[in-house]
Structure 1
């Protein structure tokens, strides 16, 4: 459970200080957005195929940040947030094919300024509800006027079909306040399997075209 709304309101006086402290995460996302734009364009020139359909980035809201610190039993400080919360900055990469996802990871491994801290492969090992995506926690340097900060960024890489399913699944859970009947969870799992079948089918078709 997070903090009640009235307690969060009492903490809003901290918000401006936190915005300044955590601005580095916005800069980290700006750098990653530029990096993936360059990767996408160069990959297209070399291979004749753009692996990235679109990207979306966000910095976690003040309220979400406070609630997550409370759930983790951490102090309500920016230092605790930086140490214990790894998805303050989030970047979602939507790719055309499953193979593009792993190609993007291999490309990132070649960038010396990016340190990959953790990999969670929910494509090879889907969550019980059917969720599929590849999650990375990376650390990137942010060059400020008088110092270098290192910020963690969570990167989620998925296909169009995975993103479509995850988006609708989130809306359904939000609509039902996370109280989803078993029948619907079973249908959502079936839909996830269908989306995975579509990914595999489209990759098979593309492989035939590339022969």
Structure 2
């Protein structure tokens, strides 16, 4: 297959990755805007390079003309979570979505690979509409914690460096570090509620501050400078004190003032 044709055939895969990353990042935004903890920490995606696709096809003995039909991880999404429990929440969430169909799942967390690799793998079917066709694309989704991801990236780099023949001494150290990752995730789980509470409080405060700043920006065009400075000084004072209740009262007061200013404009 010519290089140009390969690139064209991969366009639907690129679109699938872009759409899925955007949708899952919006899930994070929705939770953040509502001040609610999100089990998804971050999302990224990729489409395998042509050389990687051909290399995998050669390793698995797949004829070139069958590559796109038989390789399911040409398009890939990686979802990173803070806690192991979050992974299974994300799995249930993906199963419930109507814009994708889960076709296979492998739980490498409950059943790690011999190397120590741990992650949750799903393959989904996702429909895209390009400029020229509508088609269903297989996408592999890997869901793992931050610690699992760090280990997996290191292991992948070593596999590449040693051409999948990692020396025994390094393999033993990898297994030891894999056990450390399990311990780290267990420790994180033990303090999960405290971390979630702190993060939720932070997001609520950040959203409250953003609301106040936006409203002050609106008022800056309509109220006298002296009044605006008074409100700003109150805001900075309450912010430095960390007084959430009085910050909420200030937000309501500023919102009311904005509505009054708007009503005055409408009455003119």
Kept in 1, the 8 Å contact 2:40–2:90? The answer is no
Task: Report the alpha carbon displacement of residue 28 of structure 1 after superposing the two structures with TM.
Answer: 0.3
Does the residue aligned with 2:41 lie in a helix, a strand or coil? strand
**Candidates 3, 13, 16, aligned match of 1:28:** 16
Task: Determine the C-alpha separation between the residues in 2 that align with 1:178 and 1:198.
Answer: 27
Query: Where does the alignment leave 5 or more consecutive residues of structure 2 unmatched?
Result: 198-268
Higher strand share: 1
Task: Determine the C-alpha separation between the residues in 1 that align with 2:149 and 2:16.
Answer: 23
Match of residue 70 from structure 2: 84
Match of residue 140 from structure 1: 126
Match of residue 125 from structure 1: 111
**Candidates 63, 71, 89, aligned match of 1:103:** 89
Match of residue 185 from structure 1: 171
Are 2:175 and 1:159 aligned?
A: no
Task: Report the alpha carbon displacement of residue 176 of structure 1 after superposing the two structures with TM.
Answer: 3.1
Match of residue 40 from structure 1: 28
Kept in 2, the 8 Å contact 1:44–1:51? The answer is no
Higher helix share: 2
Cα 1:28–1:122, aligned 2, differ >3 Å: closer, same or farther?
same
Task: Report the alpha carbon displacement of residue 26 of structure 1 after superposing the two structures with TM.
Answer: 0.3
Kept in 2, the 8 Å contact 1:54–1:95? The answer is yes
Query: Where does the alignment leave 5 or more consecutive residues of structure 1 unmatched?
Result: 1-10
Runs of 4+ with >4 A deviation:
208-211
The number of equivalent residue pairs is 197
Match of residue 233 from structure 2: none
Kept in 1, the 8 Å contact 2:42–2:80? The answer is yes
**Candidates 36, 52, 55, aligned match of 2:43:** 55
Task: Give the greater-gyration-radius structure (CA).
Answer: 2
**Candidates 61, 68, 71, aligned match of 1:73:** 61
Task: Name the TM-score, length of structure 1 as normaliser.
Answer: 0.85
Higher RCO (CA < 8 A, seq sep 6+): 1
Q: Deviations over 1:1-57 (max 9, x none)?
A: xxxxxxxxxx6xx11111112210000001101110122223345572133332221
Task: Determine the C-alpha separation between the residues in 2 that align with 1:111 and 1:151.
Answer: 16
Cα 1:128–1:46, aligned 2, differ >3 Å: closer, same or farther?
farther
Task: Report the alpha carbon displacement of residue 83 of structure 1 after superposing the two structures with TM.
Answer: 1.2
Does the residue aligned with 2:99 lie in a helix, a strand or coil? coil
Kept in 1, the 8 Å contact 2:28–2:41? The answer is no
Task: Determine the C-alpha separation between the residues in 2 that align with 1:83 and 1:172.
Answer: 29
Match of residue 3 from structure 1: none
Match of residue 115 from structure 1: 101
Task: Report the alpha carbon displacement of residue 146 of structure 1 after superposing the two structures with TM.
Answer: 5.2
What is the root-mean-square deviation of aligned Cα atoms in Å? 2.0
Does the residue aligned with 1:36 lie in a helix, a strand or coil? helix
